[in-house]
Amino acid sequence: MKKILILIFMFVICTIADAKTPKNDFSSVINDSGIDKHSIAISIKDLKTGKPVYELNEKNLMHPASVQKVLTLIPAIEILGDNYEFTTSVYSRGEDSYVIRLGADPYLKSSDLKKLVNKMNAETIRRIYVDDSILEKKDWGEGWQWDDDMNVLMPRFNSYNLDGNLLKITIMPAEKGQTPAIINPSKYPLVFFNHVVTGDKNDVTISRDNSVSANTLVLKGTVNKPVILTIPVNNLKRYFNVRLANTLADKKIYLKQNFVTDKITESDKKIESITHPISPAIDDILKNSDNLKSETVAKLAGAKAYNDTGTDITGIKLFEEYCKKIGLDCSKIRITDASGVSKNNLISADFISEYLIKNKDNKVMESLPTPGEGTLTHRMLPIKDNLKAKTGTLGDSSSLAGFLTTKNGNKYAFCIMINDPTSTVSDMKTLEDYLIREAYLRL
């Protein structure tokens, strides 16, 4: 917090500083940061004319991180429509069977399954089918890092999205020096190597031991109060089936046969649907940089555009066709996912700033966060009403792109990308903030 207050104070002081400072002194800002200028790409363009006003390594291909979400979200919403609803439905099939048609709804909860099960006849039900054909079976993006498997910000995703694809366990302390209990209310099968000891403070770490099994978790540390830990689900279909079986059991329905995958037929009759609007997803993607929702929306758009199962390929194809439509050459860049998580994504700052200009009036852009919102909650607060931008953070990469109205009332589209393994994320984001400050004051 102290560092944040210092940055805000320095920003305000610089805002009222003597205007004799040389105009567009971006080089001094970069040199003062200590970050190698070769690891920085910048493109700032006049929003009205499209002409560049400052560039640095603007054609270099860089890892865009989550700034990429802006690029893939716009064509996805154009296809789906801003009134689109994620829909999960249950159909009756004959007198004793039901089909649950999945919609890959990233907001679907276990409590929603209860509403679907309540429409089933407990006296006659013999079998439940699941139509999971809306998205491909692949549940992680190309180039995603395997060692991020326990990262709650990067859960797996596919047709079986449920509970954010995360589960929670509770560690309950015992007598001091004793082993605490682990409570897993989801009933999803997990094996725990519990090395936690009841002590004087809460300091627990958790990791997955794939050398034993993907469902084996190792817990270490100390605990003195109940601790709730969030864990990414490693097998979404299995988790969905477990939660569905639990819901059926609550209604005293016990099926002799496992759930079978099968597509909806014309003779199946819809009897109930659970829906969630897409509008919160747009905000979650742009303001909170939600990877699950970004990937899901892109694939669903690909499914609708080509009347097929949603895949990475259909989502990327949709983006490429959109670029052609707006007259933007995307042949020299590479995207492999929707969210920017993959290190295989390579885009130039010039491409992103040009993309922003061509979409400056797109309704989706209204959801870009301003300082004080989402991932910009503690950044650049003095110019809250003059900036709308998407942030990006990925290992040794940091990025910022959006729209800036300067002190003089001029409007610009900009993109800043920093790929520097020798600098901290904090240092890279501080440089981004100072570059925006310089643009705000001098342009």
For 63-101, what is each residue's pLDDT tens digit?
999 999 999 999 999 999 999 999 999 999 999 999 999
Please report which confidence band the pLDDT of residue 235 belongs to, taking 50, 70 and 90 as the band edges.
Answer: very high
Residues 6 or more apart whose CB falls under 8 angstroms from that of 218 comprise 192, 193, 195, 206, 207, 208, 209
Q: Could you tell me the pLDDT band of residue 51, with boundaries at 50, 70 and 90?
A: very high
Res 218 pLDDT > 50: yes
Q: How far apart are CA 233 and CA 424, in angstroms?
A: 30
pLDDT grade for 24, boundaries at 50, 70 and 90? low
pLDDT at 4 over 60: no
Confidence of residue 211 (pLDDT cuts 50, 70, 90): confident
Q: What is the overall mean pLDDT for the chain? A: 92
In the chain, how many H helices and how many E strands?
Answer: 10, 16
Task: Look at 256 and 380; give whichever has higher pLDDT.
Answer: 380
In terms of pLDDT, which residue wins out, 258 or 132? 132
The full DSSP string for 10-45 is: HHHHHHTS-TTSPTT-HHHHHHHHT--GGGEEEEEE
pLDDT category, 20, cuts 50, 70, 90? very low
Average pLDDT (196-213) is: 91
Q: Which tokens go with 170?
A: 């509770």
pLDDT at 28 over 80: yes
- Tell me the pTM: 0.91
Q: What string of DSSP letters covers 286-298?
A: HHS--HHHHHHHH
Position 363 scores a pLDDT of 96
pLDDT reported for residue 42: 98
pLDDT tens track for 387-398: 999 999 998 999
Contact of 217 with 192, CB cutoff 8 Å: yes
Mean pLDDT of 23-39: 89
Is the separation of the CB atoms in 269 and 120 below 8 Å?
no
Q: What are the chain's domains?
A: 2-80+280-442 (3.40.710.10), 85-277 (no CATH)
User: Residue 146's pLDDT band (boundaries 50, 70, 90)?
Assistant: confident
What digits encode the pLDDT tens for the residues 161-175?
999 999 999 999 999
- Residue 276 has a pLDDT of 98
User: What's the pLDDT at 18?
Assistant: 38
Contact at 8 Å (CB) between 10 and 366? Answer: no
- What is the tens place of the pLDDT at every residue in 337-383? 999 999 999 999 999 999 999 999 999 999 999 999 999 999 999 99
Residue 184: band (very low, low, confident or very high) from pLDDT cuts 50, 70, 90: very high
Chain centroid offset of residue 405 CA? 27
Provide the pLDDT for residue 2.
40
**pLDDT for res 23:** 52
What sign has the CA pseudo-torsion 116, 122, 125, 126? positive
pLDDT in tens, 282-307: 999 999 999 999 999 999 999 999 99
274-277, long-range: CB < 8 A, 24+ apart: 274/87, 274/88, 274/89, 274/105, 274/108, 274/112, 274/115, 274/116, 275/85, 275/86, 275/87, 275/88, 276/85, 276/86, 276/105, 276/107, 276/108, 277/83, 277/84, 277/85, 277/86
